[in-house]
Amino acid sequence: MRSAIGVDVGGGSIRVSLFDESGNELKSQVSPTPDHLDNDSFLKILKDTIRPLAKDGIGIGVGSPGPLDNERGVLISSANMIGLKNLRIKESLTQEFSLPVWYENDANCAALGEAYFGIYKNTESQLILTLGTGVGGGFVNKGILYSGYLGNGIEIGHTTSVIGGALCGCGVHGCVESYFSTRGLLGRYKEKSNKTLENAEEFFQLVRNNDPLAKEILNFGTLALAHAVRNAVHLLNPEAVVFVGGITKSYDLFGKKLESEIRSSIFPVLNDRLKIGAGGSLSGALGAASLVFSKEKV
């Protein structure tokens, strides 16, 4: 059975996994994403993480935050990986490993992974939201990924939630990502308490400990995210909405309210058959590997 390498590049870590065509993870490597990045140092870490698995794959699929150019395989920039500019990911990996390489927005990869192997794989269309360092989105309809021009479609994290609100890493005020993401939740907590939290786990532990400020920030962020999902549901009419990414480890703290807010605000005809839930933690890497398999079949 053939195997493909899937690479999920995030603001916190780089995960490289080898999958077979049934979606089974055979091997994996994880490296932390450094806080201070430049193109050369990032490429070295990326290659070093891929190298132990490279000999076993028929190709490499890579997903990362954008904006990017999926035709040329270039990361143009990233709000959550400041320091990377016009990074030629496809060219660099092709030269290093002599394997075909495909490159897509990380949320698009997550969408493919969920559509092919996830909890709602038998539904006709899926809207996938990645909740991590930032917020991304992907849409698969009848097995076909909608990626938009150059791969930058469904950037739901950079739709406006609060007009004139908090400054986002993209340089615009009021994005959903500024209120419901690791960067957003920690940023709003520091803004109101002058305390710096290290990671999302620390924030959600405060919520579990009934910290009033953390609960207030999570509640507002949940409403902001629900508002964005409502808009997307009315635009795309998906059969399923799936949340993936590191923050979904704490889905028990916000999932019920999030789903309730979405369902109470969309058209009843859309609500009747809409499925909503949390997906798997491997969706990004698995989706990138799925991209390899789908391209190999063309």
The structural domains of the chain, ordered by start, are: 3-109+283-296 (3.30.420.40), 121-278 (3.30.420.40)
* pLDDT at res. 112: 86
From CA 91, how far away is CA 36, in angstroms rounded?
Answer: 23
Rg of the Cα atoms in the chain: 18
**Predicted local distance difference test score (pLDDT) of residue 193:** 96
pLDDT for 73 equals 93
The angle that helices 200-208 and 212-236 make with each other, rounded to 10 degrees, is 110
pLDDT of 34 reads 78
Sheet arrangement for strand 135-141: 144-146, 135-141, 125-131, 240-244, 275-278
68 CB-near residues (< 8 Å, 6+ apart): 74, 75, 76, 103, 105, 150, 151, 152
User: pLDDT tens track of the chain, all 298 residues?
Assistant: 799 999 999 878 899 999 999 999 999 999 988 777 889 999 999 999 999 999 999 999 999 887 889 889 999 987 777 788 999 999 999 999 999 999 998 888 888 888 888 888 889 999 999 998 899 999 999 888 888 887 788 999 999 999 999 999 889 999 999 999 999 999 999 999 999 999 999 999 999 999 999 999 999 999 999 999 999 999 999 999 999 988 999 999 999 999 999 999 999 999 889 999 998 766 678 989 988 987 654 3
Q: How many residues does the chain have?
A: 298
Q: How far apart are CA 166 and CA 111, in angstroms?
A: 28
Question: How high is the pLDDT of residue 298?
Answer: 30
Write out the chain in H/E/C secondary structure: CCEEEEEEECCCEEEEEEEECCCCEEEEEEEECCCCCCHHHHHHHHHHHHHHHHCCCCCEEEEECCCEECCCCEECCCCCCCCCCCEEHHHHHHHHHCCCEEEEEHHHHHHHHHHHHCCCCCCCEEEEEEECCCEEEEEEECCEEECCHHHCCCCHHHCECCCCCCECCCCCECEHHHCCCHHHHHHHHHHHHCCCCCCHHHHHHHHHCCCHHHHHHHHHHHHHHHHHHHHHHHHHCCCEEEEECHHHHHHHHHHHHHHHHHHHHCCHHHHCCCEEEECCCCHHHHHHHHHHHHHHCC
